Amino acid sequence: MSDRQPDHPPLRPGPIGGDMAMIVFGLAQRLRLPALTQRYSSVAVLGVFAFVNGLIAIALMSLVALLTKAPFVFPSLGPTAFLLFYTPLVPAASPRNTVIGHLIGALAGYLALVMFDLTQHAPAPLEGVSTARIGAAALSLGLTSGMMVWLRVPHPPAGATTLIVSLGILREPWQIVVLMIAVVLLVLQGLVINRLAGVDYPWWSPRPAGGS
């Protein structure tokens, strides 16, 4: 039995599914860390990678938010980050689906605010839930779900983005611009880390099923 380390990880390795073990393996090889290369698929190593990567992603956004006094941190970034590093090769994690999905959610949320005359109201957690707020939330989520299907750009975390807007947590146009900048920054982080690890993460559109 040879002790030589494998040149490539097995398909979808690791005990928890997804492609995170493949990313850790690629980074270990790139950084020439033989001990990590041997243990890349253990639950302990994968948990540490998920912890550190999530910490870095949100810490960077928080730093930008602190420096600019703009809302660069919002809840739907969390599930987006997990998608980008847990299953980066599924269509929902591609840059196209991520950016367009969140854009659809943000615009649908703002349109719902306008239609229900809520743009000048306080956020729902402060003002409370009204009939208009329920209508705005329902409309925004319906529009977001339908548009992502019609345009073939499914990205589940966008459903949280549209509620963040339609519930008034982010309700100014400039805040929506900041929200989208934050999404792009997170996608760039995913692109850098996945490509550095040797993962064939798409530059924009998802890979065709069964394609190279």
pLDDT digits (tens, 9 = 90+) for 65-101: 888 888 788 889 999 998 998 889 899 999 999 999 9
- Give yes or no for a contact between 159 and 144, defined as CB atoms under 8 angstroms apart: yes
The average pLDDT across 117-145 equals 96
- Give yes or no for a contact between 198 and 30, defined as CB atoms under 8 angstroms apart: yes
The yes-or-no verdict on residue 212 having pLDDT over 50 is no
Assign 3-class secondary structure to 116-170. CCCCCCCCHHHHCCCHHHHHHHHHHHHHHHHHHHHCCCCCCCHHHHHHHHHCCCC
The average pLDDT across 115-135 equals 95
List C-alpha distances in Å: 192 to 32, 84, 85, 156: 18, 11, 11, 22
Lowest mean pLDDT: which of 6-15, 95-104, 105-114, 166-175? 6-15
CA dist 57 and 44 (Å) reads: 20
The yes-or-no verdict on residue 18 having pLDDT over 60 is yes
Q: What is the pLDDT of residues 27-49, one digit of tens each?
A: 888 877 777 767 776 777 888 88
Q: Which residue bears the tokens 């809302």? A: 71
Closest by CA position to 171, among listed 101, 129, 122:
122
- Give yes or no for a contact between 113 and 130, defined as CB atoms under 8 angstroms apart: no
Could you tell me the residue ranges of all domains in the chain? 20-196
**Chain length of the chain:** 212
Three-state DSSP state, 25: helix
Q: Which residue bears the tokens 């980074």? A: 27
CA dist 2 and 23 (Å) reads: 24
The average pLDDT across 1-7 equals 51
Q: Give the confidence band of 2 by pLDDT, cuts at 50, 70, 90.
A: very low
